[in-house]
Every structure is written in structure tokens, then in C-alpha cells.
Amino acid sequence: MAVQVEVTECIQNPSSQAAVQGDAPGPVQAVLVVTADTAEETRALVDVTLRARDLLEASRAVNDEQIALLVERLRPHDGHQRAVEAIEFESARARADFLRRHETLSSAEVAALAGHTARNRSLTASRWRRAGRIFAVPQGGEERYPAFQFQDGAPRPIVARVLEVLSPSLTPWEIAFWFVADNAWLEQGGSATRPVDRLDNDDRVLAAARGAVASVF
């Protein structure tokens, strides 16, 4: 037994098995043919098809905001998932705050800062990074180099010593956050100070880096 049901909807896929009439854009008439072996199957297919037609009609009145709300409600929101999403949100916000507050340089800008004129503008930064003298944070598909690790066009010596301690344990972004966060190891006048503000005191900053690694393990 065959059942033929007409469904009106805009069909864009020319490879569809439905018969599409007319070349003009916009809603067109489509004929969906389904088959069933028993009367019970026939009734079920008709019911499903008519429900699909009703959904298509109702979808025309649904705006983007309602669709987004529906998708949000359908997403799994178990406790673990909510925790992961919260961590990702806070991480993204912290990175944006870092980039807003602290100057970062592209590879080409590092080369210009160093006064290097090689055709490959990324060579200087890449060489220094591979040697462990500087670090970069990934952002928007490129590497960004925090400007505080340079002085007079060259890497500060303390940065390499700190990276030797922190790099095996922390990610580049975690290292960036460490440099700009208050640190009890660098207490001055009864208040914690940030490593980025004490880069002229190699021994104290290096001790603070070792303390950070010790607190992780």
C-alpha cells in the first residue's frame, strides 16, 4: 500500500528524491511518497508525516531568539558540564582581561623592537622562544609575546630563568597570569607585589617561581 502526502516547504537540495516543481525561489510543492505493508504502519506513517508538515508550518513563526532558547534547553546541563562551561568562561574572560591590560607583540613587532631586518619577520621571536628566552600566548590563531619580557630590544635575562622553572609545569597562559598576579613571595611593605613589577630583582622573582612550582605539587 502506498500513501501520498503533500508537504509545502522551500527545498534547496536538487538531489532530493522528492519531486520539485517550478524553478522560482521560495516555497515549492513537494510530494513525499512513503509505503507501508500494513494498515497500522500506514496510519503511523501518515501521522508522522502530518506532524512534520505542522512543524514546518510552525517553524515559519519561530525567530532566532526562540530557536537559541530551544537549543539551550535541549543541551545537556549536568553538573560536570556546567562546571566545564564555567571554567571555560572564566578562562576566556581572564585572557581577554590580560590582553586589555598588558601590551603584547606580534612576531614582526618583536623583530622591529630588536632592530632586526631579516625578510622572515617571525624568525627573531621564533628563535628566542625555542631557546627558552621568551614565551608567547596563543590568541586568535597567532602567537602574542607579552611586552614586559623585553628591555632595550632584547629579552630580559630573568625571563629565561623563570621559564626554566615554570615551563615544565605551567601552560603559556598560566605563565602569563603568574607574571601579573600578586605574589606573596614578593611581599614588600606588608603587601604582595607582582613578578612583572619586580623583574629587576632576579633572585626574588626566581624564588617566587620556584615557590609556585612547589605549591602545585
My answer on whether 31 and 116 are in the same domain is: no
Given this model, what pLDDT does residue 89 score? 82
Whether pLDDT at 34 is above 90: no
Count of domains observed in the chain? 2
My answer on whether 28 and 132 are in the same domain is: no
In tens, the pLDDT along 206-216 reads 999 999 888 76
My answer on whether 53 and 123 are in the same domain is: no
Q: Express as a percent the part of the chain with pLDDT over 70.
A: 62
Whether pLDDT at 165 is above 60: yes
Q: Model's pTM, two decimal places?
A: 0.61
Given this model, what pLDDT does residue 131 score? 97
Choose among 53, 54, 57: nearest CA to 6: 53
Last residue within a domain, chosen from 55, 72, 89: 72
My answer on whether 125 and 28 are in the same domain is: no
Residues 46, 3 contacting (CB under 8 angstroms): yes
pLDDT-derived band at 45 (thresholds 50, 70, 90) equals: low
My answer on whether 24 and 64 are in the same domain is: yes
Residue at 124 is within a domain:
yes
Residues 106, 144 contacting (CB under 8 angstroms): yes
Choose among 169, 156, 165, 160: nearest CA to 185: 165
Q: Where are the alpha helices (DSSP H) in 3-135?
A: 39-59, 64-74, 79-101, 107-114, 123-130
My answer on whether 121 and 165 are in the same domain is: yes
In tens, the pLDDT along 89-123 reads 888 899 999 999 999 999 999 999 999 988 898 99
My answer on whether 64 and 148 are in the same domain is: no
Residues 186, 198 contacting (CB under 8 angstroms): yes
**Domain encompassing residue 52:** 2-72
My answer on whether 65 and 124 are in the same domain is: no
Residues 206, 157 contacting (CB under 8 angstroms): no
pLDDT-derived band at 86 (thresholds 50, 70, 90) equals: confident
In tens, the pLDDT along 52-79 reads 555 555 555 555 566 666 666 656 556 6
* Residue where the block lists cell 602569563: 176
- Residue 20 to residue 25: CA distance in whole angstroms: 12
Q: How far is CA 47 from CA 1, 44, 54, 147, in A?
A: 16, 5, 11, 66
